[in-house]
Structure 1
Amino acid sequence: MDYLRLETFYIGVLFLSSAVNVGVAVWLRTRSANEQAVRLFTVLLLLHPIVGLVVVAELLAPSQSLAFVFYGIHNTTLVAINVVWFAFTLAYANRTRILSRPVVGLIVGYFVGTATLEVTNTTHRAVWRSYRVVTDPFPYVEGEPTLLFLVLTTGMTLFHLAGIGVLGYHLLFGPSRSSRRTATLLAGFTMPLVILVLWGLGMVPGPLNGAFIVGSTVSLSFVAWAVFRHQLFDVVPLARERVFEELDEIVLVVDPDYHLLDYNQSAKRAFPELVGATGSPLVEVLPHLLDGDSFTDSFTTYENGRLDEYTVDASLLTVDTSIRGYGVIIRNVTERQQHIRDLEQQTMQLERFASTLSHDLRNPLNVAQGWIDVTIESGDLQHLERSQSALDRMDQIISDLLTLAREGRAIDDHELVRVRIVDIFEDAWETTTTAGARYELELDADVVLYADETRLRNVFENLVRNAVEHGSAKSRSGSDPPVGSGDGAVTITLGRLVDGFYVEDDGPGIPLDQHQRVFDYEYTTAKSGTGLGLAIVESIANAHGWTVTMSNGPDGGARISFTNVELVDAEVERPTTS
């Protein structure tokens, strides 16, 4: 009889497909690492021959009732295949964190409930309303589904489609070096869906589940080729890929002609311009990485008011002594470099404090002690006035030292506020003894910057005080200006630079050979000064990340310039008139 020969051939194909599944599973386990993805894929392989053997048992069952039981068992195994398939795709794409305990509990509950209903269906008929024996092209069992079966099948189908979706997402947005392997898996496991469509159109004979198992052999052929050709589950590429993606350092792979080949997630976050630039010349994508015909050792970027510093370490990638490209590791060392600068600044301050304490404070202390001794010996209390003057100088020095210690520390971003520079300057002017001095503004009143408001005010107070003490006619001659010569008061100007601002006076200025010394501790040209005013100014400027320099103004006075400052022309709300 023809149907017997066709049935025998069909059973032979099922046995062959099952044997291929088992063989690939054993071969895979002997040559691959004990990774989670490998274990799940092995389970997936072994579930397929179980279905195949149960379908054979169903076809050869001595009674219809036993065939119905086998029918429920192979349907249950198909549910397990789709659940394990979904878990495998998550493990392959390194997204198992999705499988939280509630999710796992829901999946297990779905499987156990479906398996119980399928196996016991002959007693309650909740899943299959009835069974019938199809005779064409050979006898096999087919069930008439209930509404509950459609619900359960929807869940099973969703698991299969979700797995394909995970692979598709990994193919589009995952590492480019694994795209070929992912595409192979995706193509292979789309094949069973093609088989199911062909069966539904009547183009594939026999029971549906048997067709599914035969179709899976095609999938496994793709996978086997991927294992052999692309090292799908070998420990080296798996470990390399995981380490490559999870490194905090920025990693690039560049060919010998400096074209971008690959990059990790850290690189994508640090340099968004890398996205979609694979194959492009590095000089067009990240030009600051190159210094002529080689890689630079370090570079800095400045975007959106943020300065970042990087170091670059490039290594040759060779295969059989042939240079295939470069592995480039980029590290963001901004915080480390800032920490080093902070430590250097603190060390310098400590050294300067020690020098000031040992010299500047000791001298007025000796003077005060000497005049107190004279007062005790002579009984003349007038000598105490000189002691008081020395003690006042000590108090001023201590006050300036405390200011240096407090204002010179590094400034965190949360301490910066948006302020109008003119407002801060005018506030400082009101709180400083100006001795008849005047000020002029050569910048718009609406110019703003980000700064620590208190420390910026301290900068202006020290600069105004310094200009008044050193720039007025009295301070220059040591006496009041002669009658008819004008009031001798200094004029102080606040102006704008391309990348900052300046404060300038019209006094005698500072000799060129002393421009580098004016920010040193103890530097002063006034008898009453402590020599710490400009040191405080420099310390606060450095804490903001600004650069401060001394020069002569166009009219000969002293100009203190602050650069590397981001100034913004703010929108000024003007009052409305009615």
Structure 2
Amino acid sequence: MTWQYTPEILPYVGVLFLSVLLAGGLTVYTVVVWTDAMHQPTVRAFVGLNVGCALWAGAYAMQLLSVTVSTKRGWLTVAFLGAVLVSVSCFTFAVAYSGNERLLSRRTALVLAIEPIVAFVLFTTQYRNLYTQRVDTAVVSDLVMIDRTFGPMGIVHVLYLYGLLVLSAGFLLRTIYRANHVYRMQASAVLLSIFVPLLANVVWFLELGPMGNLDFTPVAFVVSGLVYAVAISQHQLLDVVPVARTAVVENMRDGFLVIDETNRVRDVNAAVRSQIADDDNESIIGRDIAAVFPEVMRIVRDGPSTDHAQIAVDSSDRRRLFEVQVQRLSNDERFRLLLLRDVTDQHAVEQRYQALIENASDLITVIDDNGVIRYQSPSSTNVLGYDPSALEDRNYTEFVHPDDRERIAGAFSQGIEEPSSSEREEYRIRDADGEWRDVETVGRNLLDDPFVDGVVLNTRDVTERKKREREIRRKNDQLEEFAGVVSHDLRNPLTIAQGYLEAARDAVDCEYHDDIEFAHDRIETIIGDVLVLAREGQAIGETERVDVEQAVEQAWTHVDTGEASLTVVSDRPIVADEDRFLQLLENLFRNAIEHGGSDVNVRVETVADGFFVEDDGPGIPADDRRDVLKYGYTKTEAGTGFGLAIVSRIAEGHGWSIRVTEGTDGGARFEFVTDSQPITESLEEDALSNG
């Protein structure tokens, strides 16, 4: 193989090999230092760019040194591949650097590869001279130079590569226009590294070069290499890349601040600028962090940490609290990233909840999975007489009454096995004086919640309520005893009297027998009403949605209504104890017939806030309406005075209010205002379930 060494060509070839060394050095440096970042498109494209530069410059140098046409064509083939790799890598780098990675899909890569593949095939095969019409050598100043004329495909290929570079410059110019100071310096450096080789190649393509149109494009890569080196060392080309910065960093609610090894600010986002009086981004960049944000200096001196430190910043309206974390921006020790999260509102909420817990009358206790107390609210002092610190690290069950301890321990074990479960228990607990107090506890398993990591017990002192319940049970027992006396000791003599009355009817004809029987019946009725009041009173069982129309018709059949008529208008159910609701209706119907006659008309209707029962009888005088619901009040000989009292007690037991007024037709009207909210919710649930 023959080579040419002339004084004219050697300096230029030396510059080309220098370009190879610069590009190769940048390639090795990038692969070694940014090994962990090789998955990033910008880093991969930068490596491809420098590999292409090295191939192009080295191949062109060898082409100049060679003499024969076949050798020169071989090196031109390598240079062809290098030029394609440079253009495609430059385009990829610019697209990724400007935050448009979504454009770098497999489809994009396929489209970009079509033209270079076609051009390469035509270049190597010389098919119909579509790429080069003529390839020969010519001697210029004692140098054997390649002499070729591009065909149509050759011109298309050159223009295609120019197009990629122009598009790359467009992406970079857009980044320069929209970016802040640090990104403008980076993008400008990359743009310069593209512009210089592009200008040199245009001079060559237009055949304006010296010495037989010598191509200075590979030499221009020396300038590009130097620019890249400066961009990497001074402007962190591969450390800080504005990929999707506008969409992510600039719009972050958290503060984002980059400082270098001299504590100079290199980048900030809007969240940080809003905390600084001077909102001008350019005036912040390059300033010392101590002058811009003096509150973070203590954290900066401590160095990078995964812990979050807290600082207070006095703004124009109020003091704000921030959690600050310092991180390394990359493997380079020179740059640190400060993340600032505004926790002012969160801190206010925490303070509010802490105040609520510390001033609550209930006991708030947090225990671990072994039942050991990890937190006890200050209310333990007022409720049990214990200092909270004296309870911590002690097992909760040691304060529980021995008779309740096994049951509570079992409930606790069951709750531990069910995350997020909630249980309610009543038991006795010992206070600081050694007395046993009744408490009600709702426990919730929050062991899986990292912010709680325990079982939360909300305990209420129900000692006084338990005393009242025991007193009520005692009175109920007395009432039950009284009911037994009424039932047994009064009904037995009454039965005997009724027997003697029947015997007297057979033996003696007396006009007073009917009066005696009426008196016996009245006594029987009074005994029945008294038993209802004594045994049931206000007691209300399980409530449910009751169909009003069906309940009214059923209650009507339980009463001797004679010729009386009934009208029912209902568009909604009533939430009630069905048995007691029937009893209420029966008593109202009996009252209507008793006072309105056997042909009275009775109307039952639901309204927006409850229901009413009215008749067209003589009605109740206004002066008597307050008294008709009292025990024993009656103005008829047959009445006991207990029927409407029972109605009042049933309504009271349901939590309903009752109002006695005049009916539509002048009779008596009893209006009941119920709690309509459960009814409404039930109807909504049915509507949802039925679609």
Q: Give me the TM-score of the superposition, normalised by structure 2.
A: 0.42
Larger Rg computed on CA atoms: 2
Q: Give me the TM-score of the superposition, normalised by structure 1.
A: 0.49
Return the structure number with greater relative CO, CA threshold 8 A, min gap 6.
Answer: 1
